[in-house]
Amino acid sequence: MKLLLAFSAILFIWHAPLVSAIPADVQQIVVDYMNRFRESFAVALPVSNMNAIVYNASLEKKISTCTVAEHAGKDHRVIFFDSLNLDKGPDTDGDIDSRRAETVMDPNNHHDDVEPYRRTVNPLNAGIGCIILRKPCPYPGQPRNAVDKATAMCFFGGPEIRKPLEGLKRGEPASQCPNGKSEISDYMCKA
């Protein structure tokens, strides 16, 4: 009996998921943060077909190890975060001027930092689902012992595309919305 208990305990630990769900209020913070960023990008460039995104729990993924997280991060619709306490950080990330927007668009810009922005402002994204990594994982391409680690991952939903900015149309914000304008923004489309 004791042996069986010990064995179940080991199995339980073995199966303990690396991830936990995020609370509903944090889901809303993430969605608002992303939409503020996407809206200001749409105005700055400008972009005519930027969708406003919604929280979609079916996009959350069960990540079992950091190796799996790193593999999942190769998808063009995944971003990593230090923390999902986005409302507590400096409130300047959403301030995008047209110069910064063009930097994100520049195909010759291969800076590491720019790729997550491209994924975030993909106009065709329709939803987002996020998870907390209970054991922080190194950012993709970073060594295991890196000091800065990711504690959260978000997965965008939308059409499969090869590159994040492939479906972007320039022009007057929200002037090319197949499903009409978003209810939350005059500058974004309903997904």
Site of interaction with ligand NAG (CB under 6 A): 56, 58-59, 126-127, 157
* Alpha-carbon gap, residue 7 to 4, rounded angstroms: 5
CB of 19 to ligand NAG, least distance (A): 17
Nearer CB in complex with ligand NAG: 116/157? 157
Residues 100 and 89: their CA atoms lie apart, in Å, by: 20
| List of residues 6+ apart from 159 with CB closer than 8 A | 124, 167
Nearer to ligand NAG, 62 or 88 (CB): 62
Select 43 or 126, whichever has its Cβ closest to ligand NAG: 126
Q: Which is nearer to ligand NAG, 88 or 162 (CB)?
A: 162
Tokens found for residue 173: 């914000």
Residues 119 and 76 sit within 8 Å (Cβ to Cβ): yes
Are 126 and 63 spatial neighbours (Cβ–Cβ below 8 Å)? Answer: no
Closest approach of ligand NAG to the CB of residue 102, in Å: 30
Q: In the bound complex, what is the minimum distance in angstroms from residue 178's beta carbon to ligand NAG? A: 15
CB of 15 to ligand NAG, least distance (A): 25
